[in-house]
């Protein structure tokens, strides 16, 4: 007997170098089998600063994952050496925190994690948790 398949959702950069390290880190940390993945160049910059219309386009993609696969966890991921968002590591983390705050009110019942993948050497990426919705698994407010 196997349980239901477990999914999480990730909004991450297009950068092919970070996909596998992030996928492995998230699946291990969250104990999920599959990670539905939406890509944007430098997504933490986009999420923190884009207008409401563009944000709505992205959240519609997140909603497909939630509806089809029952995902109730969203990971927002940024990374060092990002061509789409060439700012300092501190600014990446700041944008990740702002992205998380912006999405928290729009995704009630969704646990959100903000993750930054730093370099740890040649072909080595070390994801680290930057912020998470308070209390771990989110609770609905009504």
Closest approach, Cβ 76 to Zn ion, in A, equals: 13
Q: Between 82 and 112, whose beta carbon lies closer to Zn ion?
A: 82
SS3 110: coil
Closest separation in Å from C-beta 63 to Zn ion: 24
**Which residue bears the tokens 């599959």?**
34
Q: Which residues have CB under 8 Å from 33's CB, separation 6+?
A: 5, 6, 7, 27
Q: Among residues 10 and 138, whose Cβ is nearest to Zn ion? A: 10
Nearer to Zn ion, 8 or 117 (CB): 117
For Zn ion, the closer of residues 9 and 19 by Cβ is: 19
- In the complex, minimum distance from the CB of residue 21 to Zn ion, in angstroms, rounded to a whole number: 13
Binding site for Zn ion (CB under 5 A): 13, 15, 82, 84
Return the number of the residue (42 or 133) whose C-beta is nearest Zn ion: 42
Instruction: Write down the least CB distance from residue 12 to Zn ion, Å.
Output: 8
The least distance separating Zn ion from the CB of residue 130, rounded to whole angstroms, comes to 15
Are 12 and 96 contacting, i.e. CB atoms less than 8 angstroms apart?
A: no
Q: Contacts for 22-28 with beta carbons within 8 Å, 24 or more apart?
A: 22/75, 22/77, 22/79, 22/115, 22/117, 22/125, 22/127, 25/115, 25/117, 25/127, 26/75, 26/113, 26/115, 26/127
């Amino acid at each position: 007997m196997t349980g239901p398949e477990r999914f999480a959702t990730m909004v991450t950069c297009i950068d092919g170098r970070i996909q596998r390290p992030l996928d492995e880190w998230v699946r291990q940390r969250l104990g999920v089998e599959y990670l539905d993945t939406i890509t944007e160049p430098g997504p933490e910059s986009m999420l923190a600063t884009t207008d409401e219309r563009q944000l709505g386009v992205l959240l519609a993609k997140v909603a497909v994952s939630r509806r089809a696969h029952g995902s109730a966890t969203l990971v927002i991921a940024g990374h060092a050496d990002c061509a789409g968002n060439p700012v300092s590591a501190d600014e990446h983390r700041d944008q990740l925190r702002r992205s998380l705050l912006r999405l928290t009110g729009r995704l009630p019942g969704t646990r959100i994690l903000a993750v930054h993948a730093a370099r740890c050497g040649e072909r080595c990426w070390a994801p680290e948790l930057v912020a998470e919705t308070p209390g771990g698994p989110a609770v609905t407010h009504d």
